[in-house]
Chain A
Amino acid sequence: MNLDELKTAWNSESTNDVRIPSKIKQLGQAKHPLDKLKRKMKGEFYLQSFCILFVAFIPKLLNIDPSLYVLYYAFYALSLAISAYYLNLFRLFYNKINHYTADTKDSLLEIYYELKINIERYHAFSFLLLPIALVTLGMYRYSMRLQFTEFTDPDQSVISFTILTLTVSIITILIVLAWTRYFYSPYLLQLKKILDELKEEELKENEFSINHSNENIQKDGRQ
């Protein structure tokens, strides 16, 4: 098949299948993977904001001893500051990542690395909240001990709390890693595949240039 000859048919092809709306509003919701990720992230943002507010009522809900309130709300303020910082970073990232006007390689590279950084930020955010959650758990256990001193053995309490802390930490870390791997990594892997296709060409071109130079050197040598 002669592709140059096919260009005439290519240029004269009917475009009746393309429907241009009379108004932008008539366009549906964007289905691009990045837009889907943005919507997912937005949903998580609302859920996380709700959880942060909910956590403020935990001392009352769990009957934590009032003497621990100062410590609890100091940690709560810390978690608020961390959450505000990270949630703002996520918001900025998803507002920024809308550009497709750079050349293909630059555009994909930027999306790839921004997305990769964002996934790591997501991990850091989740892991930073873990100690705060564990301190809350510790306060709850301590309050229980104050109420039922006669039933608790201090040594056993330390062992059981250490085991509980370790178990909760490992489970949380695994859940966070699995969550990002399932929801965010597939797109990253697909982008990486395309970037590798572009990168591979560079290497092959270098090889081509080297071969070409070698041929010229050989020709010069013969002359």
Chain B
Amino acid sequence: MQADSLIEKTFLNLIEVHKGILHKVARLYMDSSEDRKDLQQEIIIQLWRSYHNFKGESAFSSWMYRVAINTAISYFKKEKRRSDVYTYDNIKEPENEDYNPEKDRQLEIFYQAVQELNAVEKALIFYFMEGLSHRETGIQLGLSEGNVRVKLNRTKEKLQQIIKKTNYES
């Protein structure tokens, strides 16, 4: 009983340390705050259910990437609730201490453009932004290294086109 409680505590501490992954995956895959909260909770549930499979052979973050992306990619949301979907006009400025208006605005525009990508393209962009190599991304997704390279380049081009379409100039 005490051992179970210790496992649970260790797990929740690890999630707390890596909660940035939850935030980023949810922002990429969901465009409303309500959906993002649901997805974050869903990922924690699936991580907890799979936690006994984590043997510590890889870094916790690598294992968490995989479970988070697999959950997000197969978590099909229902129709968008119009009132929840934000547009470029209502982007709010985050209240960070080291707030950089230009960078944060670019990040908001980036997240908005990513919503137009499909589930696999979102996963590729996520791993790219996290700094994973083509080979590491391939291992996570079950694709070859060359496949990741071709697809990622195409996805980046698509993303730039979406951003240009909104008349945003960096």
The interface of chain A, by Cβ under 8 A from chain B, is: 1-3, 6-15, 17-24, 27-28, 30-34, 98-108, 111, 187, 190-191, 194, 197-198, 201-202, 204-205, 208-209
- Contact indicator A201/B143 (Cβ below 8 Å): yes
Q: Which of B8, B110, B141, B142 contacts A24 (CB 8 A)?
A: B8
Produce 1/0 per residue, B140-170, CB < 8 A to A. Answer: 1111101100110000100110010000101
Contacts of A105 in B (CB 8 A): 141-143
For B144, what are the chain A residues with a Cβ–Cβ distance below 8 Å?
202, 205
| Main DSSP-derived SS at the B contact region | helix
Residues in A neighbouring B37, C-beta threshold 8 A: 17, 19
Q: Check B110 against A17 for contact (C-beta < 8 Å).
A: no
Q: How distant is B160 from chain A, measured CB to nearest CB, in Å?
A: 7
Q: Which of B52-71 contact A (CB under 8 A)?
A: 53-54, 63, 66-67, 69-71
B141 with A10: CB separation less than 8 A: no
Given known A-B contacts A7-B129, A101-B67, A194-B73, A27 and B41 have beta carbons under 8 A apart: yes
Query: Quick check: A197 and B120 within 8 Å, CB to CB?
Result: yes
Tell me the B residues contacting A by CB distance below 8 Å. 8, 11-12, 15-16, 19-20, 22-24, 26, 33, 36-38, 40-42, 44-46, 48-50, 53-54, 63, 66-67, 69-71, 73-76, 94, 96, 98, 100, 103-104, 106-107, 109-110, 118-120, 123, 128-129, 131, 139-144, 146-147, 150-151, 156, 159-160, 163, 168, 170
Q: Report Cα–Cα, A8/B75, bound state, in Å.
A: 28
Nearest CB of chain B from residue A150's CB, rounded to whole Å: 61
A and B contact pairs by CB, cutoff 8 A, 5 listed: A2-B170, A3-B129, A100-B66, A198-B143, A201-B151
Q: How many contacting A-B pairs (Cβ < 8 A)?
A: 165
Pick the contact of B69 from A12, A104, A111, A205 — CB < 8 Å?
A: A104
Given the contacts A3-B129, A20-B12, A34-B74, A106 and B150 also touching, CB distance less than 8 Å: no
B50 in complex: contacting residue of A9, A13, A23, A100, CB < 8 Å: A100
Out of A15, A100, A201, which one reaches B23, CB within 8 Å?
Answer: A15
Within the complex, which residue of B44, B110, B141 is in contact with A20, where a contact is CB–CB below 8 Å?
B44
**Chain B min CB distance to A119 (Å):** 17
